[in-house]
Amino acid sequence: MTVSSNKIRRTARWTAKRYRSEALRRRELRAERKPLVRDARHAVAAAKALDPSGITSAVHTAERGLKTAQRRVPDSLPVFALKSAAGLGTAAYVGLPAIPEEVWAWGGSGAGTMAAGAAVIAIVRSKRAPRGLEPSKEERALLARLQPEHWREHCEKRGLAGTLTGKPKLTESGIVCAVRLDGTWTAAKLSSSGDHVRALLGARTDLRIETKAGKKGGWAELTIRTRSAADGDDLLWTPERRSLGVDTVTGEQVTVPLGERLLIAGRSGAGKSVASRPLLYDASEGGSNALAIIDLKRVEGRLWDHRARVASTPDEVVTLVDELEAEMHDRLNVLPKGQDTWTPTADRPRITVVVDEGAEVVTAAKDALEGLESLARMGRAACIDLWWMTQKPTIGDGVPKQISPQISTSICLAVRTPTEARVVLGEDAQAKGWNADELPAPGVALIRDGKRGPDPVRVRYMDKAVVIALPAQPIWSRAMDPSDRKQSVSMAKAPAPAQDSEGKVLAAIADGAGQVPTLVERTGLSRATVNRLLIGLLDAGQVRRADRGRYALATPAEAM
């Protein structure tokens, strides 16, 4: 008996599941295709009005289209079941006389018992099963206004004639509804009419409404962010929860791997510094990773000075960039034949160079800009990766023209204008749903890496106290002996970098390298740095100008 009851329960579960899925499929198809039937009826009426005598084929074509549309609308499952039962009953009535009464009696009683048992089990399980998402008062109002009947009645008054909604669905990330578009509409045009959509729905002004192209031609998809899949998730950063954040649509953990060239942008107050902290932790953690931060504002960099090399003045920035550029060329020169990228080690680790507020570097440390552009172009092969952060994401001011094309991953928090969103996320950003200018602030970002869609990410919160309490890590410096790096966790800076650079230039001039291009090649310094040092050495009387743009060491008499 136990085996039979188990089989009955399994059969009942399977039957109930199949019934629910089939009923849902038919409801969705009916909601999608019934408007097409209404349109076909209007087409028939219009054809008959134009050709009441039926001289042309217009009426016949319209009627044929109506029949096709009607055939494509499936019956609801109860109607389908009634039709099936009627067909079976008719067949049974015709064939009953040929079957003995005993067979019918035993077969009928057995089938009735199984059907009753299955029905009882299905009812009990349906009461125990979760009922799904429960809409809030606001969501119920929006779902009612998204119904095709309400939309059709009010769309023309709101300037949306030619559009029609399908059946709206409540998901963990909000309300999703397909919108059918006639020939005068596109998804981009519907997106630009967001104010009209908001007015028709009576939605509050701070409620985010997204519009993108649908899964089929002639359709758009409307998403109203009444809720987030990240709701209820603990977004505080811990070493056990090291992801960047949580996808608000799927609820998945979102990570950004090392080795990418990043652009991180967001207006003031959008949470750019907080969003970057989990990434900075990953970049400074482990024996084969090192972090260097350029922070002329002297705020965020100070939190990390026990784990990262920090440059907070223009001179320190130029020195750091010179060392990084020299390290990059050294690695590329010794890179084995056939190997595309450097293999990080504890002695020569992967170096992540973070520029915190690029606009300040562009204006206050121009001498370092050429070196940073070189790192952006060539650093990836040497495992020296550039991350550019800015509150002013405009080409030229906040993001240099030579660096912007090298970016492989863009992380954009709330920005002020659509223009800034396009600079960060690409010129096609808004047409494809990457509307960073509509993001709430702080703590919500869009990440475009060529793999993700425009789903917002709730970033994890990493407090300043947590950063300060992190264990110290070795500080990278090209002046440090690699054998000492494993034991070093001090905050000592590179010794007398300006003197080292001057010494390189003086040694190269003494060796016969009198012209600037040759000095750049011999010293490994950037052209801007070499020119700056030459000016200082000329003023100090240590070098002199020779003929044909060459430089030479000053004689003792000239130095005096």
Question: Which residues belong to the annotated binding site for ATP?
Answer: 266-273
Place of tokens 């990059």: 328
- Enter the tokens of residue 209: 């409404």
User: Amino acid identity of 46?
Assistant: A
279 neighbors 496 (Cβ within 8 angstroms)? no
Residue 530's nearest CA partner among 358, 321, 219 is 321
237 neighbors 461 (Cβ within 8 angstroms)? yes
214 neighbors 166 (Cβ within 8 angstroms)? no
Residue 161's nearest CA partner among 180, 140, 134, 175 is 180
Q: What is the residue-wise DSSP string for 484-530? A: HHTT----PPPS-HHHHHHHHHHHHHHTT--SHHHHHHHH---HHHH
Helix (H) or strand (E) holding 241: none
Helix (H) or strand (E) holding 373: helix 369-378
As a whole number of angstroms, the distance between CA 54 and CA 510 comes to 102
Q: Using the Cα atoms of residue 336, residue 340, residue 344 and residue 347 in order, give the sign of their dihedral.
A: positive
Taking residue 193's Cβ as centre, other Cβ atoms within 10 Å add up to 18
357 neighbors 276 (Cβ within 8 angstroms)? no
Binding residues: 266-273
Partners of 180 in the beta sheet? 164, 219
154 neighbors 200 (Cβ within 8 angstroms)? yes
